[in-house]
Amino acid sequence: MIRISLVEKAPKAPSALVLLAWEKEEGFLNAPGKAWDALRKVLEQEGFAGKESQGAFAHTGKGSPKVYALGLGSREKATSETFRRAGGRLARKARESRQEEVVLEWPRSFRGGRLKAFLEGVLLGSYQFTRYKTQREDLPSGLRSLSLQVPSGSKAEAKEAIRLAESYCAGAILARDLINGAPSDVTPRVLADAARKMAKGKVRVKVYGKSDLKRMGAGGLLGVNIGSAQEPYLIHLHYRPKGGAKRGKGPVAIVGKGITFDSGGLSLKPAGSMETMKMDMSGAAAVLGVFSQLNALAPAVEVHGIIATTENMPGGRAYKPGDVLKAMNGKTMEVLNTDAEGRLILADALSYAVRQKPGAIIDMATLTGACIVALGWLVTGAMGNDPKLLGELGAASEEEGERLWELPLVEEYRNDIKSRVADIKNIGGGRDAGTIIGGLFLQEFVGETSWVHLDIAGPAYPERDYPTIPYLGSFAGTGWMVRSLLTFLRGR
């Protein structure tokens, strides 16, 4: 990642300066001196007016530094995401111009939360996935160093902003790297090994293999796995804070769907729809991203991380439409479509989570294409049985710019998953309310536990270019919800 350092004062001859400006406010453009007069003229020629979408590059002559002017838009409408997007635009401008070092004087009026958001934008916007590139010298290196000058008396706040931004983004980038890896390289075993590496400090890890799953009665996970040559795993990460958790709302269980490749099974997807199906483990990757940072951030809440992981493949032994699987909690599930497999493995993961007696369960899954139709590529569909928990998650996600929108768990729709031959079936009767139907199915496995389901199908792997989500020549993983969950856990 980029090296971020605090400096007492800007170098006398920095190679590049970063300047921030509100829309319709003169600010730095009114600074005295001939150098600033020249800069103002260059920026005016570029049409720079401080609008949020604007980022201008200026160079006023030999011996003077390059300047990146970033618009913040309206001061009244600014949020943390305003600063995060500005940081992302800086990273992009630096990469385009092959600028490796910049200096930023952070204004006194911008508090630590805004600095954290800006630095997150820089770190996330600088992300590149080069694992499979053999001609790396052709890739612009982008930003390597950011020197930060802050007002006197603000050093402690700035250091904390840097610490949090670096930790949050390290977790998200870990998730991105896992999601972006080729599906034959990032297998269920690789996810299990990644989890095992986190077994240090206050984190403990258990990995259950096929024989364990048979003993535990994990019929959903085993059923989906049967057509694959890769072994399935149920992964349990457990963070226990030093001295035990503070008295309060009880442990939190974070559950992630880990389908490392989804062919659709015997209900085979069209070829074009399979091209991005390495991303179907984005929920699991987010759980690992969160746990990678818990020792460093040390939240005072006990956390369980639970991942069910397998491939969903066709073959002579694969599970079939018409099969009936039994989940870990004893509930039977009629399979009518093998491409609605995520809910089948989550049935076991949620049942296992309930056994840990948590105060709250949050599951994350790229569950339904219907959620993308409803909410697009930048919004998560949220459903749950606890309005207060939904509100806490909503506040955390708003702070981190990872938007949620609550969808109702309509009781009348529950009839759509009633089965004639089993307790429930894994799809509804048609295409209507597909995301809600998926949420109602999962609710069958949480009992009375406070629970929220996050359908991250759109933002986990968006078909959009965005300042903090670099477009890598094709779609790419985002590590969505890692930062929001870290904020949620720290506030819990």
The string of pLDDT tens digits covering residues 5-55 is 998 776 666 678 898 888 876 555 544 455 566 777 788 788 888 898 888
Alpha-carbon radius of gyration of the chain: 24
- Residue in 89, 343, 483, 492 annotated catalytic: 343
For each of the domains in the chain, give its residue range(s) and CATH number, in order of start.
3-151 (3.40.220.10), 170-491 (3.40.630.10)
Q: Are 107 and 21 in contact (CB under 8 A)?
A: no
Which pair of tokens denotes residue 308? 């069910």
Q: How far apart are CA 228 and CA 314, in angstroms?
A: 7
pLDDT band at 138 (very low <50, low <70, confident <90, very high): low
pLDDT band at 188 (very low <50, low <70, confident <90, very high): very high
403: alpha, beta or left, given left = phi > 0 and alpha = psi -120 to 50? Answer: beta
User: Is position 215 annotated as part of the catalytic site?
Assistant: no
- Residue in 189, 240, 269, 414 annotated catalytic: 269
Residue 246: what pLDDT? 60
Residue 105: what pLDDT? 85
Residue 13: what pLDDT? 64
Nearest CA-CA partner of 103 in 10, 6, 210, 207: 10
Residue 203 has pLDDT above 50, yes or no: yes
pLDDT band at 59 (very low <50, low <70, confident <90, very high): confident
Which residues are CB-neighbours of 211 under 8 A, at least 6 positions away? none
Residue 36: what pLDDT? 62
What's the average model confidence in pLDDT over 229-241?
98
User: 236-267, pLDDT tens digit by residue?
Assistant: 999 999 876 665 678 999 999 999 999 999 99
User: Is position 490 annotated as part of the catalytic site?
Assistant: no
